[in-house]
Amino acid sequence: MVGNKGDFIVEVDSKIIFSKTQLINCESERFPHDGEIVKLINKA
């Protein structure tokens, strides 16, 4: 997915599993920690 304004969005099977600006699976506007996306993909 293409974002703007510094968005960082990760999708698996058309479902957002991490969004920096929508605060999906994160508590504040931040980039994922090392290994965090892999863990989220494995949970999806």
pTM score above 0.85: no
| Residue 27 placed within a domain | yes
| Residue 2 placed within a domain | no
- Chain segment 5-43, per-residue pLDDT in tens: 678 889 999 999 999 888 888 888 888 899 999 999 998
pLDDT at 13: 93
- What total of structural domains would you count in the chain? 1
| Residue 16 placed within a domain | yes
- Count other Cβ atoms within 10 Å, centred on residue 31: 11
| Residue 35 placed within a domain | yes
User: What count of residues does the chain have?
Assistant: 44
Provide the residue range defining the domain that includes 21.
9-43
8 three-state secondary structure: coil
SS3 content of the chain, % helix, strand, coil (to 5): 20, 25, 60
